[in-house]
Amino acid sequence: MKWFRNITFLGIIISLVLTNFSFSQDNLQGYNYQENILMDSIENMGADFIELDIHCSGKYKDEFISKEEIVLLGEELGEKLGILEDITGEIIEKEGFIQYNAKNSTEDLIDITISSYRLKNKDEGETTIFVNLVKREKNGQINDIMENTQDIFAQYGIQAEITTCIVGGFKGKLDRSDINKKIIKAIKRVNGVIVDNYDEENLVSITAYTPIFKNYIYSGNKKMNYNLAIRYNEYEDKTCVWIGTPIITISY
């Protein structure tokens, strides 16, 4: 059913604003601080904690690389992240495109993706590294993991672009009045200003700007760094909430 389908980062952004984004790298704050603010937002809404999701990405090379080099790079990253012995990797290969995917099998997930593509009729290309970290323990220490991941990216000369998202949930289906109250409460909690919103039958997504976070992206000429989405899942009879900074990059 349409309310159960995944809405990806690209799709929701197109639906929301139909504009281009650019990252500001000024005054990046500690990720433990961001985690605490997002956790406070979830708890203040009265939702139960489900997971913390951290997404790190950056350009590795301005060129298309071979499958062998991608596999070696993936294994090297797995070793640096301490999951080499616990990962299952796979290769997706098409003309001018290669992608390596690997993830561990523990409760706290670490997912590595390396994508390389060649521009049509050119020798130019690009190779990008993505690392996704998922913590399902509310009191789990994420700051050390984040610093380690950032250091690993730096070893390759990459300044990682990082997004953080907390996922929570409510039992049953909230009515629209309750949803609106919780959204207003969450935005006020961070002294936020709503930039845009997306609304359909069982999904509401709000983008806002808060001065609490120094990192932000642009929607047109407007700053934004706080993204909140609420969706009802009839199969689990649960209303889920996602709160991310500077934006939600996972499916919801």
The pTM assigned to this predicted structure is 0.78
Give the phi and the psi of residue 26 in degrees, each rounded to 5. Answer: -75, 140
- Residues 207 and 212: their CA atoms lie apart, in Å, by 15
Q: What is the pLDDT along the chain (252 residues), one digit of tens a residue?
A: 333 333 333 333 333 333 333 333 333 345 566 778 888 889 889 999 999 898 999 999 999 999 999 999 999 998 888 877 777 789 999 989 999 998 887 767 889 999 999 987 677 899 999 999 888 877 656 667 777 888 999 999 998 888 889 999 999 999 989 999 999 999 999 999 999 999 887 899 999 999 998 888 998 889 999 999 999 999 999 999 999 999 998 888
How many other CB atoms sit within 10 Å of the CB of residue 35? Answer: 21
Q: Which CATH class is domain 2-245?
A: alpha beta
